[in-house]
Amino acid sequence: MLGSGGREHALSWKLAQSHAIANEGGQLFACPGNPGVAQFATCFEMDVTDHELVLAFCEQERIALVVIGPEAPLVDGLADSLRAEGLAVFGPSQAAAQLEGSKGFTKDLCARAGIPTAGYVRATSLGQARAALDGFSPPYVLKADGLAAGKGVVIAETRPEAEVALDDMFGGAFGDAGAEVVIEEFMTGEEVSFFVLTDGATILPFGTAQDHKRVGDGDTGPNTGGMGAYSPARVFTPELRAEAMQKIVAPTVRQMADDGVPYSGVLYAGLMLTSEGPKLVEYNARFGDPECQVLMMRLEDDLADYLYACATNALASMPPPRFSSDVALTVVMAAKGYPGTPEKGGLIVLGDAEADGAVVFQAGTVLDEDDGTLRASGGRVLNVTARGADVQAAQAAAYAAVDKIDFASGFCRRDIGWREVARG
């Protein structure tokens, strides 16, 4: 397992329950992991950009399956390097990971395959981008083309705001990710997250969720990597799911194969449910964070079996995965200052937050070397996750666990799941 966030804690938690590890004496390694992951895996530090080093470790430990959690190693081509040496890897190739690594790549693929999405223009200079604004009406959707840790999207309400945002993007606010910008038309509707597993041929639906991107209650403030999520997304009906599979996901997998870059791994489609039907907002080449946490809480089958089948082109032999009918909901506790400059080093005391069945997945945490206390080390710090018979019960259980945690320099939204609660 490669990665260190809440997603990787959730994956490690679920993989540790797999038959091969829980019953057959298998071992789980994580690089670099975090204090939460360390409850289930042997954690170690290694430079994952050094592909030869990663390969040597896998050979030394006779690793049967490599699970790449975050997007950066995928875009860096780590999966290719390991597969070239015969290792089973869960995660797409470098070429296929462009679905997340380049928003322009994905928009162009949608245009070729006739996949419904927002109208767009790609711009490679500030002047070109400013001129392109003439073809759009406010609010303006501006996206840094490359990886920006979930923060490279700006929705500008006015033309002056859009021009300032473009200045920032091309001025280096998002590093190399902003060297090219995609300008899109604004879509209206509810956004949902739809996950599938695919080995490039077979596609298995793997759950739905709704994320909460804005930092503040009522979906106010700047975008973040996600302040909470719940699953399933009831608004994404079976009929809408079938339409999204037929018009968006299946054509994408087919087009990638036709282009000679078959996609293998989890494909995360961010969809907007518009009055004209589902439209693609973006693709991610890995499990969402914090959506992964709620999916793992509901998954009833052996995760390792599905990931291995996906990595070995054997997904056609697997039945559709089973998920609990319960709702799972996760609340992100972030460090003050996030998503700007988060306050690091805050003391965290979990207490008995997990006493009633909740699970606290750790994202940005570290153990203090001097006294062994748990400290905040990032922006999004904890993912407090619970299940319930409905969204109201799951929400109540998650916030009851939040209220048992002593994290004075942290904060959270108090309305995760509000859309579903409002639907009654």
Instruction: Please write the tens of the pLDDT for every residue from 9-18.
Output: 999 999 999 9
CA distance 393 to 300: 20
**DSSP line for 240-270:** HHHHHIIIIIHHHHHHHHHTT----EEEEEE
* 273 three-class SS: strand
Query: What is the model's pTM?
Result: 0.94
pLDDT recorded at residue 222:
86
Instruction: Please write the tens of the pLDDT for every residue from 412-421.
Output: 999 999 999 9
Res 100 pLDDT > 80: yes
Task: With CA atoms as reference, report the closest residue to 291 among 354, 350, 233, 360.
Answer: 233
CA distance 81 to 87: 9
Instruction: Please write the tens of the pLDDT for every residue from 184-197.
Output: 999 999 999 999 99
Please report where in the chains the tokens 């914090």 appear, as a residue.
290
CA distance 372 to 354: 20
Res 174 pLDDT > 90: no
Task: Name the strand (E) or helix (H) holding 421.
Answer: helix 418-423
Q: What percentage of the chain reaches a pLDDT higher than 90?
A: 92
Instruction: Please write the tens of the pLDDT for every residue from 227-238.
Output: 999 999 999 999
pLDDT band for position 226 (cuts 50, 70, 90): very high
Residue 219 exposed, middle or buried by CB count within 10 Å (0-12, 13-18, 19+): middle
Residues 375-379: what's their mean pLDDT? 97
Instruction: Please write the tens of the pLDDT for every residue from 85-96.
Output: 999 999 999 999
Q: How far is CA 126 from CA 10, 104, 178, in A?
A: 40, 16, 10
pLDDT recorded at residue 335:
98
Task: With CA atoms as reference, report the closest residue to 6 among 387, 395, 367, 364.
Answer: 364
Res 150 pLDDT > 70: no
